[in-house]
Structure 1
């Protein structure tokens, strides 16, 4: 999971290329965590926070996600 903390809209615009080219962890206030599950909900109550993962549009919050071990076969 990649976590963006205290990002303003312009921070995202100026640093978006790093999020997509794999250098995002060098950006200040960006971190990552390994998880088995995650629940994402908004704290503003606006009901308009759109979610995407790995370029796929997933809809609006709240959402729960689970990692399924061995669900994807990787080529070594």
Structure 2
């Protein structure tokens, strides 16, 4: 597994709680409509990024290994 993840926020599912940006403010922020988004592609594979994905109440964030594409979160 690589040391970077691709974070995808499904904008159709995001309910704009801002928990991702609050949990990992350097890695996620909110767009002009208040929806979550990753600040870079790829993101470092850190516990803070995983915590941000896990904090989303509607699982709008998917993390995948940046090298292999293997899903990291949510589990399949």
State the TM-score, normalized to the length of structure 2.
0.33
Higher relative contact order (CA 8 A, sep 6+): 2
State the TM-score, normalized to the length of structure 1.
0.33
